[in-house]
Structure 1
Amino acid sequence: MTTFMTILGIIVFVVGLLFSIAWHELGHLSTAKLFGIRVPQYMVGFGPTIFSRKKGETEYGIKAIPFGGYIRMIGMFPPGDDGALRKRSTSPFRGMIEDARAAAFEELQPGDEKRLFYTRKPWKRVIVMFAGPFMNLILAVVIFLGVLLTFGVNTTTTTVSSVSECVIQASARTDKCTEGAKDSPAKAAGMRPGDKIVAFNGEPVAEWDELQADIRDTIGPATLTVERDGQRKMLHADLVENQVAKFDGRGGYVEGEYVTTGFLGFTPASGIVEQSFPQAVDRMGDMMVSGVEALIDLPSKIPDLWDATFGNAEREQDSPMGVVGAARVGGEVFSLDIPPEQRVATMLFLVAGFNLSLFLFNMLPLLPLDGGHMAGALWESVRRNVARVFRRPDPGPFDVARLMPVAYVVAGVFVCFTLLVLIADVVNPVRLAG
């Protein structure tokens, strides 16, 4: 049964992946057609074509390797300075440029002169290229909000799970009391597992982050209002100064870093809690920030990823993960011994996270990513507006094809990184449970 559920989880993730890719390319396709650009192909996947059907002027199909997708637009790059396609140069860099320019004019038909991508105004080209990643962002937001508002999320609550017996510094990495250790303020106050803290010093508290901040800011006497067996009780505690784990501001702790703050001495319980709309939006904002930070930190994680792949190092939980690794995690999700609705919610979060990553990655202003084409269109708009202000001749369209050598370097780096992540996902995968 576990094997079946694992395979089912992988299949469900792959279906979600294919839908995300198709949804991304639909953004490009719909806006390109809206602005009159001819689109000969709309494909989900790479490699050999499994299925295709031509409708109107566009061929729609699915390819064998579900690691991406594309639409082909006529005239992605302008012709050379003389207005014509040049013969291939012996220079490798020039050859890249001319090959890209020639590919942009493949399948050129009579009447296409007014339907070329590069002839559209810069703002229209920006919309066409932005529409793809924007569709991923929309899908991520809809899934995240839908799960948070209807199902909820595993959240640390203000309910007491356990009470510390004594005051122990976090750096000790033990819960055993040493001889002569003082009772924890929570124990001395009579706090019990199952108590729900609803107020701190008379001020209502509903979320753990708020209660945690109040506790850490207090050293000395404090009054706690708890719900116990359907009744409210007042507990009086004398909080002490103690070394605790440093809070990262997003519901977690910074590994190996500590701060000295007020200490009460209990462990909060966690559970699935439905989020209000403001809470869901706030969590979405945290996810966006975390996604941007993860993208910025990506290069710094490559050495550890290499050691985990070809050395004896452990694979970190926040290690970069590719499609294979994500599919594997999807399989693990469906095989977990948790309620079915929680499996579905976790899988949806996984797909939403993948879409958020697609959005952020494609917004990088580098060719061959969508952000690179957007940057080229914006630069063209700046050049033309500056020329207009200073009454200079129109410089014409910016030839993004000149950046193709850079695009090949970026693509090469991306391919190498993808291969490294793929090998790591096979030999030393990220696992949900240790």
Structure 2
Amino acid sequence: MSILLFVAGVLIVLIGIAVSIALHEVGHLVPAKLFGVRAPQYMIGFGPTLWSKKKGETEYGIKAIPLGGYVAMIGMYPPAKGKGDVGATDLGASAAATTRPTTTGVFQQLADDARRASAEQLQPGDENRMFYQLPVYKRIIIMLGGPLMNLIIAFVLLAILISGVGTYQNTVRLSEVHQCVVPAGEQTERAEAGDVSCASGDPEAPAYAAGLLPGDTITEYDGVAVAEWDWMRLTELIRATAGETVPVTYERDGQTRTTSITPMLTERPELDAIGRPATGADGEVKMIEVGFVGMGPEQRLMTLPITEVPGKVGENIKAVADVVLDLPARMVAVGRAAFTDAPRDVNGPISVVGVGRIAGEVSAMEEIPLQDRASTLVGLIASLNIALFVFNLIPLLPLDGGHVAGALWETLRRGVAKLFKRKDPGPVDIAKLLPVTYVVAGLLLTMGVLLIYADIVKPVQLF
């Protein structure tokens, strides 16, 4: 039964990924068609075509390698400058206009080959239906349509979880109040030795000194009201007030009480945007000195107002963006973990294989209620869509962000030319950036292979 549940979890997430990719490409296709650009192909996957069907002027299909997708649009590359250059788009001209090279340089030849391939797709009637001819804002809308679709998917799924089904939240109702503060460096040693009691010389915990008890519900800290689910906000306030004596309002047995508390400056784990201990590229938890009072939250399954969803989405976006900004160092750490005894960072990047493994493990945990397992899988798919949203905004070709960056550069270049009354430089020729595109694509492929290998030999251990 566990094996069947494991397989079911993997399949659910793989289907979720496939649907997310398909809708991402729909996000490109729909505005392209609305703006009149001819799109001859809409494909999910890469490699050999397994199935396709032509409807109207577009061929819709599925390819063998389900690791992405694409929408082919006419006129992605503008014609080279100069009469008769490769890629000329005068459909009434002779075939020679699309075959004469302009230079023998390797990089230029790559650009010429791309223009030639693009020109071969042109048909009578395409003269005014090419992508590069669109106003910049329309091109940006088309390229942002894919990532925006992933963001919408993530928002809808998280809204269902957070405001519909409910998720486990750390609440401001206290589950524990520690009597003393143990230095972070000694906590692991004492836990391994089985010693959880306070030792002589351990300072009294501020929460215990303030008279707080398990079961108390904090309602206000330093004049700032906190909602029942706002443990993260309360933690931020505590961490920011080290050494300050601040008022605290709480409820006990239905009565509102007040006290004062002085957070102690001590070394604690740095937290990321969603409240997890932040890790560096080496997988080690980052430590910082912040305010600490020595109390823990009670966790409860609850639904939140729909107005809380944008904030939760934003927190997830920031958490993913932090990983992406540190991606080179984190990939080095993944490689080190894959080929040495170094630990794998639980907050680091993982491949589709790693995601599938986690989904299978969650599904196979029969001791966990079915609703919780289903919610975890939905949350996993939502997180994947946020990752797709952030990753595709990286301003490098062939990613969507690279096309947006090219369009913005064209706007700037044309604006400067107009300001100084110079000749219009025309559209940005992204064909000239194909060498960079190939390098980036190669790096992405290498990164994917490394992550898959690491997820096989040294998987992330979440449980």
Same fold (TM over 0.5): yes
Which residue does the alignment assign to 1:169?
Answer: 183
In structure 1, runs of 5+ residues without a counterpart are none
Tell me which of 85, 92, 97 is aligned to 2:98.
Answer: 85
What is the alpha-carbon distance in structure 1 between the residues aligned to residue 150 and residue 354 of structure 2?
20
What's 1:353 paired with? 383
What does 1:118-129 align with in structure 2 at a 5 Å threshold? 118-129=132-143
Q: What root-mean-square deviation, in Å, do the aligned CA atoms of Structure 1 and Structure 2 show?
A: 2.9
Question: What displacement does 1:149 show?
Answer: 1.6
The Cα offsets for residues 25-80 of structure 1, whole Å up to 9 and x where unpaired, read as 11111111111111111111112222211111111111122100111112211222
Verify the 8 A CA contact 2:38 2:130 in the aligned structure 1.
yes
Q: 1:416 to 1:238 in 2, by over 3 A?
A: closer
Amino acid at match of 2:397: L
In the aligned structure 1, how far is the partner of 2:374 from the partner of 2:272? 28
Q: Is 1:325–2:350 an aligned residue pair?
A: no
Q: Secondary structure at the match of 1:364?
A: coil
Q: How many equivalent pairs are there? A: 430
**Which range moves more in the overlay, 266-275 or 412-421?**
266-275
* Aligned with 2:172 (options 137, 142, 158): 158
How far residue 157 of structure 1 moved from its aligned partner, in angstroms, is 1.7
How many Å apart are 1:165 and its aligned residue? 4.3
* Residue 130 to residue 209, structure 1, CA distance change in 2 (3 Å): closer
Q: Does 1:344 align with 2:365?
A: no
Cα 1:399–1:183 shift into 2, 3 Å: closer
| 2:163 aligned to which of 149, 160, 163 | 149
- SS of the residue corresponding to residue 409 of structure 1 reads helix
TM-score (norm 1): 0.88
More displaced 10-residue stretch of structure 1: 109-118 or 386-395: 386-395
Partners of 1:187 and 1:432 lie apart in 2 by 32
Amino acid of the structure 2 residue aligned with 1:401: A
Shift of 1:295: 1.0
What is the alpha-carbon distance in structure 1 between the residues aligned to residue 382 and residue 17 of structure 2?
10
Q: CA, structure 1 residues 42+156, in 2 after alignment: closer, same or farther (shift >3 Å)? A: same
Which among 292, 304, 319 is matched to residue 275 of structure 1? 304
Counterpart-to-counterpart distance in 1, 2:140 and 2:234: 46
- CA distance in structure 1 between the partners assigned to 2:15 and 2:441 by the alignment: 26
Q: What does residue range 93-132 of structure 1 map to in structure 2 within 5 Å?
A: 93-132=107-146
Tell me how far 1:197 sits from its aligned partner.
4.0
Q: Percent identity?
A: 41
1:287 maps to which of 307, 316, 326? 316
Is it true that 1:248 corresponds to 2:278 in the alignment? no
* Conserved? CA contact 1:167–1:242, under 8 Å: no
Residue deviations 1:107-159, cap 9 Å, x none?
Answer: 32222222222222222222222211121122122222332222333322222
Structure 1 residues 93 and 184, CA gap change in structure 2 (3 angstroms): closer
Mapped to 2, the partners of 1:387 and 1:196 lie a distance apart of 63
2:456 is the alignment partner of 1:431 = no
- 1:232 maps to amino acid: Q
Task: Say whether the 8 Å CA contact 1:80–1:86 is kept in structure 2.
Answer: no
Distance 2:236 2:386 in 1: 30
Displacement of 1:180 in angstroms is 5.9
- Structure 2 distance, partners of 1:130, 1:288, is 16
Q: Which letter does structure 1 place at the counterpart of 2:336? A: D
Which of 338, 345, 349 matches 1:309? Answer: 338
Alpha-carbon spacing, 1:253–1:118, altered in 2? closer, same or farther (3 Å): closer
Q: Distance in 2 between matches of 1:213 and 1:373?
A: 38
Taking a change above 3 Å as real, the CA distance of residues 113 and 158 of structure 1, as seen in their structure-2 partners, is: same
Partner of 2:388, secondary structure, is helix
Could you state the TM-score of these two structures normalised by the residue count of structure 2?
0.83
Judge conservation of contact 1:170–1:258 (CA < 8 Å) in 2: no
Structure 1 residues 148, 111: CA separation in 2 closer, same or farther (over 3 Å shift)?
A: same
| Structure 2: gaps spanning 5 or more residues | 89-96, 191-195, 279-284
Give, in angstroms, the shift of residue 349 of structure 1. Answer: 1.7
Assess, with a 3 A threshold, how the Cα gap between structure 1 residues 247 and 92 changes in structure 2: closer, same or farther. Answer: closer
Q: Distance in 1 between matches of 2:462 and 2:49?
A: 35
Match of 2:400 among 354, 367, 370: 370
Query: 2:419 matched to 1:396?
Result: no
Partner Cα distance (1:137, 1:182) in 2: 47
